[in-house]
Each structure stands twice: as structure tokens, then as C-alpha cells.
């Protein structure tokens, strides 16, 4: 019955739509000899449209056909800790949550049943996991289907005995003053010997990409228009400069990844992910 209804529906489709679909798929060829306007080969048409229906079903977004790896906040928290450990093992970061986390926030990203558009060819719902301790704050986005990190930002608080590299005192509206102090503690986030090339290769391995291409960074908000950094340049040297733009090769080819390190008052932050907030 379903097949009959499908064929009845196909027979009711206007000729020009069917011929357009057939021509697109390369399945309808002109009849030999003179053909009358409006005539078509119904057998071919049915085959073409059934093929089109099957193709469309096979091309449904993967999230509609996938069983999720992460189905609860508890699973997401456990997975976030494992992925952070994996980044440490690969040498991408050197920052681990302490044994006594003061606060943990885990929630499914609201209003995103079809997922965030970080990796726009693979769109799944995701879990947002934040981890806090006395030293580090981790903010992560976890793909619910694969468990991989889509985005991570790590805030490393400077130690009390560290000397600031920059201080500024400014007045508040109530007449009091506040001092902003910035520190050179990038080594709380990445190895001082880690190069840009090593970082990108490790990230490609983590996500399963086939390679990468470093790109120049252009951002009108910051008046940045810079060349790509050298492969052997140190990651710590990009601190407070333009973020690194990287195009990975493979499943997500053409999707830019952004890597940046910058100082804030009392801490240094490293972020890795796509869709830069200001870019």
C-alpha cells in the first residue's frame, strides 16, 4: 500500500518538476526521434524519484540517526574529565582539575535540540560542563554523540607569589580605586616549549582530522590583519596577540578553528574552538 501511495503521488507531480529532478540526477535522456511536448518516460521517472527519496533519507543529518553517548549530566561530567585528561596526555594543555572542585555546573545547552553550530557539518545537542577549583576554571562544550570537546576555555589563576607584569590603578564611580594586575603565567596552561605546529598536530589527532593549514587572522573589531605564525613559533608567544586561525582537513574541511591565549586581571585564559566570539 505504501508503495502504491508513493507511486500515485509521483504520478501527480508536474512534468517540469520531475524532468528537472531527472536532469539533475542525470537519469532522464531524450527519447530517440521526435518527442511531443509534455511526454515523459514514466518508468524512468518513477525510478529517478524513488532514487531521490532514498538519497534524501540517506542524507538525513547524522543526529537523527545517532544514539547519543552522553545522556545525562553525570555522564557529561565524567566525559569532560576524561577529555581534559586526554588533552593533557596529547600535550595540548598542562592544566588538570584539582581533586577538590569547589563548584561544578553541568547542563544541556538550552534551545539547541539540533545542537550548536560549532562543527556545522556535524550538528548534535551538547552538554555544557564547567569545573572550578582554587586554581583553574574549565568551561567546556561536549558533543553528545561523540563525547569530544567542541570548545574549551581554561582560566588559570596566577599564584599568590607571582609578580605581575602589568598593573593599572583606576578610579571607580564611588571614589574608591581598583588595581588591575596581569601576570605571565602561560606555563599554567601550556608547556613553555610547545610550538604552534605541535599544538595543531595534536589537535588534529584529538579530533581525528587528516591535517591542518595555518591561516592568517583578520578581525576588524581588533584591527587585526596578520600572517599565519611560523610552525616553530611558541604558543606562549601569541599571548595577548591575534588568535591563531587553523583550517583542519578531513571531515570538517573548511571549518576554522581558533586558538588564543590572553591575560585578564589575576589570570591567563586559553580558548580552543570554532566560531570565535568576535570573529
Give domain status of residue 163, yes or no.
yes
Measured CA to CA in angstroms, residue 21 lies from 28, 38, 57, 183, 248 at distances of 9, 15, 16, 62, 34
- What confidence tier does 198 reach under pLDDT thresholds 50, 70, 90? very high
Asked whether residue 42 falls in the same domain as residue 116, the answer is no
Q: Which three cell numbers stand for residue 6?
A: 508513493
Return the C-alpha cell found at 226.
596578520
Residue 127 lies in a domain: yes
Task: Single out the residue of 116, 80, 88 nearest to residue 255, CA to CA.
Answer: 116
Dist CA 39 CA 15 (whole Å): 8
Query: And the C-alpha cell for 255?
Result: 571549518
Q: Are residues 20 and 154 in the same domain?
A: no
Per-residue DSSP letter, 234: B
Give the pLDDT of residue 38: 47
pLDDT digits (tens, 9 = 90+) for 9-38: 445 444 544 454 454 444 444 444 444 444
Residue 43 confidence (pLDDT) above 60:
no
CB atoms near residue 85 (< 10 Å): 12
88 plus 40 within the same structural domain: no
Q: What is the overall mean pLDDT for the chain?
A: 76
DSSP H or E run through 89: helix 73-89
In a domain, 190, yes or no: yes
Q: What pLDDT score does 203 carry?
A: 94
Confidence band, pLDDT 50/70/90 cuts, at residue 56? very low
Domain hosting residue 44, numbered range:
2-59
Within this chain, do residues 17 and 114 fall inside the same structural domain, yes or no? no
pLDDT of res. 173: 87
Average pLDDT over residues 38-51: 52
**For 205-214, how does the pLDDT look when each residue is reduced to its tens digit (9 = 90+)?**
998 888 899 9
Any domain includes 279 = no
Q: How confident is the model at residue 243 (pLDDT cuts 50, 70, 90)?
A: confident
What spatial distance separates the first Cα and last Cα of the chain, rounded to whole Å? 53
Query: Are both 79 and 114 inside the same structural domain?
Result: yes
Residues 55, 80 within the same domain: no
CB proximity list for 270: less than 8 A, separation 6 or greater = 93, 95, 153, 154, 156, 186, 189, 190, 259, 260, 261
Q: Are residues 149 and 259 in the same domain?
A: yes
**Tens digits of per-residue pLDDT, 103-112?**
788 888 754 4
- In the Cβ-directed half-sphere of 31, how many Cα atoms lie within 13 Å? 13
Q: Which of 59, 83, 98 is the last residue of a domain?
A: 59
Which has the closest alpha carbon to 42: 7, 70, 78, 66? 7
More confident residue, 221 or 203: 203
Does residue 10 sit in the same domain as residue 144?
no
Q: Which of 80, 144, 75 is nearest to 114 (CA)?
A: 144
Whether the Cβ atoms of residue 24 and residue 40 lie closer than 8 Å to each other: no
Grade residue 86 by pLDDT with cuts at 50, 70 and 90: very high
Q: Are residues 81 and 215 in the same domain?
A: yes
- Total domains, the chain: 2
Domain assignment present for residue 278? The answer is no
**Greatest Cα-to-Cα distance within the chain, rounded to the nearest angstrom:** 93
Residues 216 and 267 in one domain: yes
Question: Pick from 17, 34, 59: which residue ends a domain?
Answer: 59
Q: Does residue 253 sit in the same domain as residue 205?
A: yes
Is residue 13 located within the same domain as residue 121?
Answer: no
Q: If we measure between CA atoms, which residue out of 33, 34, 3, 40 comes closest to residue 18?
A: 40
In a domain, 65, yes or no: no
Residue 147 has pLDDT above 90, yes or no: no
Within-domain flag for 66 = no
The whole-number pLDDT of residue 49 equals 54
DSSP 164-211: PSEEEEEE-TTS-EEEEEE---GGGTS-TT-BHHHHHHHHHHHHT-SE
Domain membership flag for residue 64: no
Q: Does the pLDDT at position 234 exceed 90? A: yes
- pLDDT tens for 153-189 read 999 999 989 999 988 888 888 888 888 899 999 999 9
CB 125 within 8 A of CB 157: no
Which of 32, 59, 86 is the last residue in one of the domains?
A: 59
Amino acid at each position: 500500500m505504501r508503495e502504491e501511495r508513493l507511486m500515485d503521488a509521483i504520478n501527480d507531480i508536474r512534468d517540469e518538476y520531475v524532468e528537472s529532478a531527472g536532469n539533475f540526477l542525470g537519469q532522464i535522456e531524450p527519447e530517440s526521434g521526435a518527442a511531443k511536448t509534455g511526454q515523459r518516460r514514466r518508468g524512468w521517472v518513477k525510478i529517478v524519484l524513488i532514487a531521490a527519496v532514498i538519497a534524501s533519507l540517506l542524507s538525513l543529518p547524522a543526529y537523527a540517526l545517532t544514539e547519543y553517548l552522553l545522556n545525562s549530566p553525570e555522564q557529561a561530567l565524567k566525559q569532560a574529565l576524561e577529555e581534559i585528561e586526554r588533552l593533557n596526555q596529547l600535550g595540548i594543555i598542562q592544566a588538570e582539575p584539582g581533586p577538590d572542585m569547589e563548584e561544578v555546573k553541568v547542563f544541556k545547552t538550552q534551545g539547541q535540540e539540533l545542537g550548536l553550530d560549532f562543527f556545522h557539518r556535524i550538528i548534535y545537542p551538547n552538554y555544557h560542563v564547567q569545573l572550578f577549583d582554587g586554581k583553574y576554571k574549565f568551561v567546556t562544550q561536549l558533543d553528545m554523540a561523540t563525547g569530544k570537546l567542541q570548545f574549551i576555555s581554561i582560566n588559570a589563576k596566577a599564584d599568590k607569589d607571582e609578580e605581575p607584569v602589568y598593573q593599572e590603578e583606576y578610579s571607580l564611580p564611588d571614589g574608591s580605586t581598583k588595581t588591575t594586575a596581569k601576570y605571565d603565567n602561560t606555563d599554567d596552561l601550556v608547556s613553555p616549549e610547545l610550538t604552534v605546529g605541535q599544538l595543531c598536530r595534536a589537535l588534529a589527532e584529538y579530533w581525528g582530522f587528516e591535517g591542518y593549514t595555518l591561516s592568517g587572522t583578520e578581525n576588524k573589531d581588533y584591527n587585526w590583519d596578520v600572517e599565519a605564525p611560523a610552525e616553530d613559533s611558541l604558543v606562549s608567544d601569541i599571548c595577548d596577540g591575534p588568535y591563531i586561525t587553523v583550517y583542519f582537513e578531513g571531515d570538517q574541511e573548511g571549518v576554522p578553528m581558533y586558538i588564543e591565549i590572553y591575560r585578564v586581571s589575576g589570570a591567563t585564559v586559553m580558548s580552543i574552538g570554532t566560531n570565535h566570539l568576535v570573529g
